[in-house]
Amino acid sequence: MGSETTLRLPAIDFSCKDLTPRTPVWETVRSQVREAAEEFGCFEALFKNIPQELRKAMDGALEEIFALPLEIKKRNVSEKPFHGYIGSSSPGSLYESMGFDNPEDHKEVERFTKIMWPEGNTNFSKTVHWFSKILSELDQTIRRMIVESFGIEKYLEEHMNSTYNFLRVTKYEAPKTTEKKTGLRAHTDKNTTSILYQSQIDGLEVQTRDGEWVNVKFSPHSFIVIIGESLNAWTNGRLHSPYHRVMMSGDQKRYSAVLFTVPREGYIIKAAEELLDEEHPLQFRPFEYPEYLKLRFADTGKSYELPLKDYFGA
Ligand SMILES: O=C(O)CCC(=O)C(=O)O
Ligand SMILES: [Fe+2]
C-alpha cells in the first residue's frame, strides 16, 4: 500500500496573538489552511500559546487514567461506536482508548471524572477541561477559515452548530520490537475535523494522495489537524480526508488525545450548493452521520476500510 517517506506535512502557525478575522495575517493563514486541507487533508498546527505546563499536565493525566484498573476503565460505556472504553481484547493489540462527549463543558468533564474516580480528581478534570477548551477554540478558528476560503460565510453559523465535540484518549502499548507493529490500522476519520495531541512519542502516519505514507513528526508546539469524511462531503469533495494509521516500534508507550468534532444527530450533511457546478458535480448524496456509522459498522471487519463514497457516492 504505497511506500514510506519522511516528507513533512505543511506546518501552519496559529500562535499569532492577533489572529483575528479580516486582518492580513488571518488571510495568510487561511490560505495556508485551505491549501493544506485540499492537498493533504491534514496539517501540523503550531500553537505556542498553550503553556508547556498544560502539556505536561495533560501527559500526566493520560498516564494516570490508563494506569487505572481495567474494571474501572470499563465503566466508560457508550452506545455510540468508539465512544466508550475499548481494550486490547485481541492478542498482540497495542490499542486502548476511551472518551466522552462535550469536554469543553466543565460539568461533562466532572461527570466523566467521577466515573473513573468517584471521589473526584480535580487535577485531572481541570487539566482535561482547560486542554479541550483550547483545542476547541483552535478548531473553530480553522473551520471558520475553511468556510471563508470557499466564500460561503452565510453557512458559517449553521456549520459551527452542526457538530458537537468528543474527546478520545488513547494509549498504545510499547511493542518492544525493532520492526513496526500496527497500533491503529489505516482509516479515514468519519467525523468533521480531528485535532490530535501526542505525548512526545511519534507513530502517526498519514497517506498522501499519491499513496505514500508520511511519518508525522510532532514538535513541542504542534497539533495535527485531520479533515474527516463529513467535511469532505460538505465541501463536495474539495477537501481531502486522508487515510492515517499508527505504527509503533521500540519500548516506549505512546499516548494521544484527539478532539473530534462530530455531526449532530438530525443534521443532514449535504454539499453547499455554491460548491456545485459543471466542473464540480455533486459527489455525495445527502446523509445523516449516525446513519452512516450504522451502515459502516453493521458488517464488521471489511466495511471498516470502505470510504464514504461506497455508501453515499452520488
Ligand atoms: O493516536 C493517534 O495518533 C491517531 C488516532 C486516530 O487516528 C483516531 O483515533 O482516529
Ligand atoms: Fe483517525
37-85 per-position pLDDT tens digit: 999 999 999 998 888 899 999 999 999 999 999 999 999 998 887 889 9
How many helices (H) and strands (E) are present in the chain, helices listed first?
9, 14
Atom of ligand 1 nearest to the CA of 170: 1
Instruction: Please report the pLDDT score of residue 3 as a whole number.
Output: 56
Q: Which ligand 1 atom is at minimum distance from the Cα of 226?
A: 7
Pocket test for ligand 1, best of 258, 261, 305 (most atoms within 8 A of CB): 258
- Whole-angstrom Cα distance, residue 47 to residue 276? 34
Q: What does DSSP say about strands 95-101 and 163-172: parallel, antiparallel, or unpaired?
A: antiparallel
d(CA 235, ligand 1 centre) in Å: 23
The pTM score is 0.95
Ligand 2 center from residue 264 Cα (angstroms)? 19
| pLDDT value at residue 311 | 84
C-alpha dist (Å) from residue 22 to 26, 30, 128: 7, 10, 32
Q: Atom 1, ligand 1: which residue's CA is nearest?
A: 256
Q: What is the number of the ligand 1 atom nearest to the C-alpha of 82?
A: 9
Q: What is the pLDDT of residues 102-153, one digit of tens each?
A: 999 999 999 999 999 999 999 999 999 999 999 999 999 999 999 999 999 9
Ligand 1 neighbourhood includes 184 CB (under 6 angstroms) = yes
What's the pLDDT tens digit per position in 158-183?
999 999 999 999 999 999 999 999 99
Give pLDDT, residue 297.
Answer: 77
The strand ranges marked E within 126-176 are 163-172
Query: Which residues have their alpha-adjacent CB atom under 5 A from ion ligand 2?
Result: 189
Of all residues in the chain, what percent carry a pLDDT higher than 70? Answer: 95
Query: Does 248 contact ligand 1 (Cβ within 6 A)?
Result: no
- Cell 498522501 locates to 208
Q: What is the pLDDT of residue 307?
A: 77
241 CB less than 6 Å from ligand 1?
no
Question: E-strand spans in the chain?
Answer: 4-5, 11-13, 42-46, 95-101, 163-172, 177-187, 193-198, 204-207, 213-215, 222-227, 244-250, 254-263, 268-269, 287-288
Ligand 1 pocket residue status of 128, Cβ below 6 Å: no
Whether the per-residue pLDDT at 1 is higher than 60: the answer is no
User: Tell me, what's the pLDDT at 147?
Assistant: 98
Distance 294 CA to ligand 2 centre (A): 18
Rounded distance between C-alpha atoms, residue 223 and residue 43, angstroms: 8
**Greatest Cα pair distance in the chain:** 60
